[in-house]
Structure 1
Amino acid sequence: MITCKNCGNNFEGNFCNHCGQSSKTSRINLDFLWEDIQHGIFHYDKGIVFSGKSMFLKPGSIIKEYIDGKRVGHFRPISLSLVLAGIYALIYHLLTINLLTSDDKASIELYNKVFEHYYWFVFITIPLISLATALAFRKKSEYNFYEIFILESFKASQRLIVHILFLPVLYFFNSTKSVQNITNLLMIIDFGLILWTNLQFFNKLSWTNVLIRSLIGYVVYFLMVLLLAVVLLLLLGFDMDA
């Protein structure tokens, strides 16, 4: 029997059955401090590596398993997408990358506003793409909207990882005409990842059905993001004719 150092309960096993504290509470040392820094400051608990790697092995299958209850080892999907969005925005600012080829003042101001709070932009757009996917696969999926939201949170993380990896390439071609070609390539990669994941996730449907519905969902999402951009321009008082 082990006596819990937190509540004094006697128990067997790795965790106290009264308060949940681990039975392995060693003295505070360098390993303890490093683990605390990882979990507390960076909100990193090894799951981010596991979840990130899973997104490029069998993403649709992994997400299905997560929704069905197999969640040990995974970083929470919404937190993961926000952490990655923060990393992307930080690196983007440090490299001072400019993806705009337009001199339009309103576009530049909105663009800068988005990247000042990029994690919020990602958080706002996940419900939009979740709604688009839910509409596109309506009556063809047994999953509810909240489960589709988890699906899209994982998919957002998947795309963010790719975009982070492409940042050095964008930096190399910064402020050149090639930047637009790279951003177009990223849009194609984004849809490719969406389709690949959807084919595994909605595996009860034919690949042509998934392809068509994924295209519809992607177009609807793109239109909703454009509408959101216009609304933000109006709410923030930007001059649309500038």
Structure 2
Amino acid sequence: MKCNNCGAAVQQNYCAVCGQKASTSRLHINELFHDGWHAITHTDKGLLRLLKDLVIHPRSFYANYFNGQRKKYFSPILFFILTAGAVALLYGYVFAYQDKLFNTNNEFGKVVFHETKFKALLILPVQILLSWIAFRKYFNLAEVAVFWLFTLGLSYCLRIVAIPLYFPLIAYKDEIDLTLFYLSYLLILWQGLVLFGKNFWSIVGFFIILNISIILDSVVSLYILFGEDIFDNPMGVKTWWDLIKMSY
């Protein structure tokens, strides 16, 4: 028997070259649904397994992943892109529901959140570079990048899970937004301290990097809305100090 994927000879249930199942044939709809469900729930390589290990065993998860146990987990790049895209998509329904009930027409918020995935891609290289400079004694550039991809994806999952809360509590949308901001901040801080917190100065270093990320997020948001002159805006942000206050 030959593998339908790579053409190599197959003697067992799976191809020894590419790993595809030997019994694949014409695609059917039940197989498509099975693959989707398998990707989310499978104990060896599912989204739920990734989230469980990131939340319950983050230290051993990163150690195992960096030491080569990668087959059983989602790709960090895919995890980051899917979660960032889902937040940007689903949060649009929150704005639509708010507009329907209260006629708020929050165009500022809509634009910023629709650009979430692009903001993340702009800020991510800075986060990775600063973290690598600070912790290159312990981790290489690729390992630092994997940390940020998984950790930011985890923070986006928190926001995705919270989306249904907005609809019965839409009158308190600002309060929910603020709560999720603080929870996301604490989640990323915790993950960073688990991995990078070797001593007092490494803890301080990651804390500074995280807060630089928050300020940079505000800079990018203003740039998206008002162009190069970010201090020429109707929001009262005229100086860097104003921008820092707005960030928090």
Contact 1:82–1:122 under 8 Å retained in 2: no
Structural mapping, 1:58-207, within 5 Å: 58-95=57-94, 96=96, 108-135=106-133, 137-139=134-136, 141-174=137-170, 176=171, 178-202=172-196, 205-206=198-199
3-state SS of 2:55 partner? coil
Where relative contact order (Cα < 8 A, 6+ residues apart) is larger, the structure is 1
Aligned-partner residue type, residue 192 of structure 2: N
What's the CA shift string for 1:150-205, capped at 9, x where partnerless? 1001001111111112223333332x4x43333333233223212322232135x1
- Fraction of identical pairs, as percent: 22
**Consecutive unaligned residues in structure 1, runs of 5 or more:** 99-104
Gap change, CA 1:14 and 1:209, over 3 Å in 2: farther
Q: Does residue 222 of the first structure (1) align with residue 221 of the second (2)?
A: no
Q: Is the 8 A contact 1:128 1:224 kept in 2?
A: no
1:10 offset after TM fit, Å?
4.0
Q: Which letter maps to 1:195?
A: L
- Asked whether the 8 Å contact 1:16–1:23 carries over to 2, the reply is yes
- Normalised by the length of structure 2, the TM-score is 0.72
| CA separation of 1:228 and 1:153: change in aligned 2, threshold 3 A | same
Deviation at 1:62, TM superposition (A): 1.0
CA contact (8 A) 1:132 1:218 kept: no
Aligned partner of 1:53 in structure 2 is 52
Deviations 1:69-108 (A, max 9, x none): 211121111211221222223322223366xxxxxx9xx5
How many pairs were matched up? 225
> Which consecutive residues of structure 2, in runs of 5 or more, have no partner in the other structure?
99-104, 236-248
Higher helix residue share: 2
